[in-house]
Amino acid sequence: MALNYDEVIEKYNPVLGLEVHVELNTESKMFCSCSTVFGAEPNTQTCPVCLALPGALPVVNEKAIESSIKIGLALNCSIAPYSRFARKNYFYPDMPKNFQISQYDEPICFDGYVDVEIDTDEGPKQFRIEIERVHMEEDTGKSLHVGGATGRIHGADYSLLDYNRAGIPLVEIVTKIVPGTGKYAPEVAKAYVAELRDILRGLGVSDVKMEQGSLRCDANVSLMLKDATELGTRSETKNVNSLRSVERAIRGEMLRHAEILETGGKVKQETRHFQEDTGLTRSGRSKEQAEDYRYFPDPDLVPVKPEAAWIETLRAQLPERPSIRRKRLQKQWAVPDKEFAAMVNADVLDIVEATVLLGADPAKARTWWLGEVSRIANDKSVAIDELAITPAHVAELINLVASGELTDKLARQVVEGVVAGEGTPSEVVAKRGIKVVNDDGALMAAIEKVCAAQADTAEKVRGGHLPAAGALIGAVMKETAGQADAAKVRELLLKFLGQ
Amino acid sequence: MIFKTAAEMATSLANKEVSSVELTQSHLDRITAVDGDVKAFLHVDKEGALAQAAAVDANRAAGKSLSPLAGIPLALKDVLAQKGVPTTAGSKILQGWKPPYDSTVVSKLKDAGVVILGKTNMDEFAMGSSTENSGYGPTFNPWDLTRTPGGSSGGSAAAVSAFEAPLAIGSDTGGSIRQPAALTGIVGVRPTYGAVSRFGLIAYSSSLDQAGPFGRTVLDTAMLHEIIAGHDVKDATSINASVPSVVAAAKSGDVKGMKIGVIKQLQGEGYQKGVQTRFTESLDLLASLGAEIVEVDCPSFEFALAAYYLIAPSECSSNLARFDAMRYGLRTGDEGGASAEAVMAATRDAGFGREVKRRIILGTYALSSGYYDAYYGSAQKIRTLIIEDYKKAFAAADVLVSPTAPTTAYKIGEKVDDPMAMYLGDVATIPVNLAGICGMSLPAGLADEDNLPVGFQIMAPAMQDQRLYQAGAALEAALSSKWGGTLITKAPALKGGAN
């Protein structure tokens, strides 16, 4: 009964809407001078203001305003000459004031767009994602629900509260509805979040680490029949903590919606939570009855009125756009389209560039990061920049291979060692005693031993059947624990067998 | 000594005729003698006050340069956070809470060497006009212990009126300094909004709240005003400008050539006869001193009360959300694995009094979606109209005047069950708050029918606070020479203390 993805696309058009929350990397919080450093002991980065003690007042962090304007400019938005903070009122223990200071009908930036390019069956294609608004708000604290099976508030024995995160500046970037992506909806969404992340990283306004929650995406998805004129009911999926999850979550929601619609059901307007392990979403709070947040302008804060001259100064300081940078890098490194797309897809551009800037050959840097290092990251299910290996390590490794001190095969062992935290490539080489066996005597001993053990094969080679040499070379390599240079072995072996 | 003015006490201290410890002890003795009847104080910080006094004496002995009010005792409204001293805002929900920080007003008082005797009673969260809404029982008017001292700063006004302190700090959201000053025969000033920092002032209605001084004379009040005013980076709504020279103005009281505008809407019907009579006499006196009396029309004042009772409750419904039992204050219903939500509800039900609940409900309703425009939105428009009215009126007059309150002090219990009657008492004071300007109440004599104090209100444009003192000092001097001393010296003696 359930349709597969191609059948869903045949019958329905998906409509997307993406809300991205970005934690700014300001040194202090949005409305007080508390530190924003991640990972401190619970409740050590708090003060009367962010704990909402009686009488405490918020004061806006100017740096957060600057970062928000930069973001708006980079997303081609208009910057409001006058905007205000509003209070979003609702009770929740991890929100000290029981209202969140946010922006409501007067966001600081509005009406922008981001262009993203994805690979389609017909080649690369550009999609424009329109930005509705960019607004500032403060983060809430964190609840840890202890006891119970699910780690959720229901069924927990008790809850612990950590207010270190309360008041960290957030910027929310909201798209207009995104129609017309068809079967590429998941890829477009992923490309959009990736582009945003690159833009934000380029601006230097956020750590943009999805796994630490400094960039969080809520994905709204709905389906409409191909000939329909009205939008379908949407679901809003939260807890999407990686680029891959953005793609999976949207694809999963499209399939789930289609299954409901195909069986004559109605999609519920609700919040859903993405499950990293299954790739499915589970129901959260129902939004059928819209909550009344009783928004009103925060009387403790004054309107934000950035001067036009300041905005222009910030505009002039904007860094190179990621899409332009990509084109530049591709040209500089002379990488074919397909390979470059693979790099973008694997998110290794920054790290390869850093490696090249340390003097490494671009092709070699790309091969290492995209190949061996990516493979290890995949095996461990972690992001590539979470591994202990750095651009400096890879640059050093490439040098060691170039100078003949390591073979490619040995270098892979060194990478393993670096990832395992054994130190720099040179240190790993020293500790593990890895070296290329170039000693003819040792190699000859191994060759003689192998040829004696595989006398029939050796005879074939001696008789001029050269392809048989491969097996013998392999055996010699094994005999020397991979430390021999295969070309050298081949040369000596053939000589030994009179060829 | 306690019956002298603060300025006289300051001279005696400077001349070393008396020490601050002696002066402080005299006031503590007075509190012991009379506060059982007056009940102005919620908490007397005997040790803290004497320690502060001793420190000032030591500094004086060491020849250090001291502020004019160094060593003078003061009563502090319990709405202001004072580090380590119980601070309740008159509410059971904050019983036992000791702030870990000083409000800016308290910091400034401490820096000036002003001795804080203790915390004074108030209507819970400053909501009320009689101090009967305190969670800790009412305060009694020293002129007639069966009557209220007004409110919400009734404790502070009564303390000054009963010679328990020469000076006090109150807060004025809709008249809460000026009305009790009027009802207890003393001087009270609500400074321009933003002139005195709200940091550490427990918020009732953020856009209307303003702390200010009480004294028995215009000069005393000015001296305190100058100490607590000034820009504060911890309050975003604080005005970044120099403090008007109010002490100089109080010393050179003069109304010759001054245009004094009588607001047509704030007199006549609804005003007690004796109040109206003393008001008119004062006007005549001002005219005889060379002022030009003009009548001004402020047609939108008719809607001021309605606008106030939408804006203030709306803001308070949000400001008071933080009292949720999670971090400080009262906590009830926390047995048997109750949810956080249930604990919040039980605590707020037990901790808040009837008037506070009434206003939270009113404000929650006014901010609800579907009602916002009709209530909160309309109220903001009225606010704009009132500002316009004042603008026109101040184009025709340097200061504006009215009776401070329509009646003299009423009996305890008389209006407590009739909120509308109570709210009407604020009709003349509320427009100042809605417009964010400044106002003073000073004694205009006793009403013939009940022999109780009548207040005369002077209003001036924002940041023109010195005009209040210039006009007030002139009127005070003229009235005092007529009476042979300030009005407060005519107050009846209290049991336990010789007047």
Q: What is the pLDDT of residues B246-271, one digit of tens each?
A: 999 999 999 999 999 999 999 888 89
Spatial contact of A157 and A146, defined as CB atoms under 8 Å apart: yes
Q: Is 0.90 surpassed by the pTM of this model?
A: no
Q: In which band, very low, low, confident or very high, does the pLDDT at A394 lie, cut at 50, 70 and 90?
A: very high
**What does the mean pLDDT of chain A come to?**
91
B chain contacts of residue A55, beta-carbon cutoff 8 Å: 80-81, 99, 103, 199-203
Region B195-204: what's the mean pLDDT?
Answer: 98
Domain coordinates of chain A in residue numbers? 5-314, 320-432, 440-496
Cα separation, B258 vs B238, whole angstroms: 29
Q: What is the pLDDT of residues A101-110, one digit of tens each?
A: 999 999 999 9
Region A320-337: what's the mean pLDDT?
Answer: 90
CA torsion, points B271, B158, B430, B473, in degrees to nearest 10? 80
Q: Do A301 and B236 touch (CB under 8 A)?
A: yes
Residue that is written with structure tokens 């400034």 in the block: B108
pLDDT value of position A286: 60
Cα separation, A465 vs A412, whole angstroms: 32
Q: What is the pLDDT of residues B432-488, one digit of tens each?
A: 999 999 999 999 999 999 999 999 999 999 999 999 999 999 999 999 999 999 999
Cα separation, B481 vs A444, whole angstroms: 124
Spatial contact of A45 and A111, defined as CB atoms under 8 Å apart: no
Candidates B97, B201, B202, B234, partner chain A, best to mutate (most A CBs within 10 A):
B234
pLDDT value of position B497: 64
Told to judge if B103 belongs to the known catalytic residues of this protein, a careful annotator would answer no
CATH architecture for segment(s) B6-301+383-490: Alpha-Beta Complex (3.90)
Chain pair A-B, CB pairs under 8 angstroms: 102
Q: What chain B residue is nearest to A94 in terms of C-alpha separation?
A: B326
Helix (H, G, I), strand (E, B) or coil at A450: helix
Region A342-361: what's the mean pLDDT?
Answer: 89
pLDDT value of position B338: 85
Q: Which of B161, B176, B238, B441 is catalytic?
A: B176
Kindly report the nearest CA distance between residue B100 and chain A, in angstroms.
8
Spatial contact of B120 and B42, defined as CB atoms under 8 Å apart: yes
Pairwise pLDDT comparison (A211 vs B414), residue with the higher score: B414
CA atoms within 13 A on the CB side of A488: 18
pLDDT value of position A153: 66
Query: Helix/strand/coil (H, E, C) string of B41-103?
Result: EEEECHHHHHHHHHHHHHHHHCCCCCCCCCCCEEEEECCECECCECCCCCCHHHCCCCCCCCC
- The interface residues of chain B toward chain A in range 90-149, judged by CB-CB distance below 8 A, are 94, 97, 99-101, 103
Region A348-358: what's the mean pLDDT?
Answer: 92
pLDDT value of position A1: 58
Which range of A119-133, A146-160, B81-95 scores highest in mean pLDDT? It is B81-95
Q: What is the pLDDT of residues A255-303, one digit of tens each?
A: 999 999 999 999 999 899 998 888 888 887 665 556 799 999 999 999 9
DSSP for A230-270 reads: S----EEEEEE-SHHHHHHHHHHHHHHHHHHHHTT-----E
Domain coordinates of chain B in residue numbers? 6-301+383-490
Q: What chain B residue is nearest to A43 in terms of C-alpha separation?
A: B327
Q: In which band, very low, low, confident or very high, does the pLDDT at A477 lie, cut at 50, 70 and 90?
A: confident
Out of B99, B236, B317, the one facing A53 most closely (by C-beta) is B99
Spatial contact of B89 and B202, defined as CB atoms under 8 Å apart: yes
Q: Is A151 left (phi over 0), alpha (psi -120 to 50) or beta?
A: left
Q: In which band, very low, low, confident or very high, does the pLDDT at A484 lie, cut at 50, 70 and 90?
A: confident
pLDDT value of position B123: 98
Region B323-330: what's the mean pLDDT?
Answer: 95
Helix (H, G, I), strand (E, B) or coil at B460: strand
Is the model's pLDDT at A233 over the cut of 80? yes
Candidates A53, A95, A101, A301, partner chain B, best to mutate (most B CBs within 10 A):
A53
Told to judge if B176 belongs to the known catalytic residues of this protein, a careful annotator would answer yes
Region B191-210: what's the mean pLDDT?
Answer: 98
φ and ψ at B470, to 5 degrees?
-65, -45
Find out whether the peptide bond into B152 is cis, omega within 30 degrees of 0. yes
pLDDT value of position A497: 84
pLDDT value of position A453: 87
Least confidently predicted of A324-333, B204-213, B373-382:
A324-333
CATH architecture for segment(s) A440-496: Orthogonal Bundle (1.10)
Q: How far apart are the first and last CA of chain B?
A: 11
**What does the mean pLDDT of chain B come to?**
96
Region A384-391: what's the mean pLDDT?
Answer: 90
| Residues on chain A bordering chain B, Cβ-to-Cβ distance under 8 angstroms | 48, 51-60, 87, 89, 91, 93, 96-99, 157, 159, 161, 290, 292, 294-296, 299-302
| Stated length of chain B | 499
pLDDT value of position A460: 87
**Secondary element (H or E) of residue B350:** helix B340-351
Is the model's pLDDT at B499 over the cut of 70? no
| Stated length of chain A | 499
Out of A93, A290, A295, the one facing B340 most closely (by C-beta) is A93
Which DSSP category does A40 fall into?
A: P
ipTM: 0.95
pLDDT value of position B322: 98
Region A383-389: what's the mean pLDDT?
Answer: 87
Is the model's pLDDT at B304 over the cut of 90? yes
The percent of residues above 70 in pLDDT, for chain B, comes to 99
Cα separation, A482 vs A468, whole angstroms: 20
The beta-strand segments (E) located in B229-365 are 259-263, 292-296
Out of A59, A98, A296, the one facing B236 most closely (by C-beta) is A59
Spatial contact of A23 and A215, defined as CB atoms under 8 Å apart: yes
pLDDT value of position A478: 84
**At a CB cut-off of 8 Å and minimum separation 6, what does A237 contact?**
A218, A219, A220, A221, A249, A250, A253, A271, A272, A273, A274, A281
Region A24-49: what's the mean pLDDT?
Answer: 95
pLDDT value of position A434: 82
pLDDT value of position B229: 98
Cα separation, A206 vs B17, whole angstroms: 64
Region B159-178: what's the mean pLDDT?
Answer: 98
Is the model's pLDDT at B498 over the cut of 60? no
Least confidently predicted of A397-401, B128-132, B154-158, B257-261:
A397-401
Q: Which of B103, B107, B129, B152 is catalytic?
A: B152
Candidates A47, A49, A57, partner chain B, best to mutate (most B CBs within 10 A):
A57
Region B413-430: what's the mean pLDDT?
Answer: 88
Pairwise pLDDT comparison (A277 vs B163), residue with the higher score: B163
Q: In which band, very low, low, confident or very high, does the pLDDT at A438 lie, cut at 50, 70 and 90?
A: low
Out of A53, A57, A296, the one facing B234 most closely (by C-beta) is A57
Q: What is the pLDDT of residues A59-116, one digit of tens each?
A: 999 999 999 999 999 999 999 999 999 999 999 999 999 999 999 999 999 999 999 9
The percent of residues above 90 in pLDDT, for chain B, comes to 93
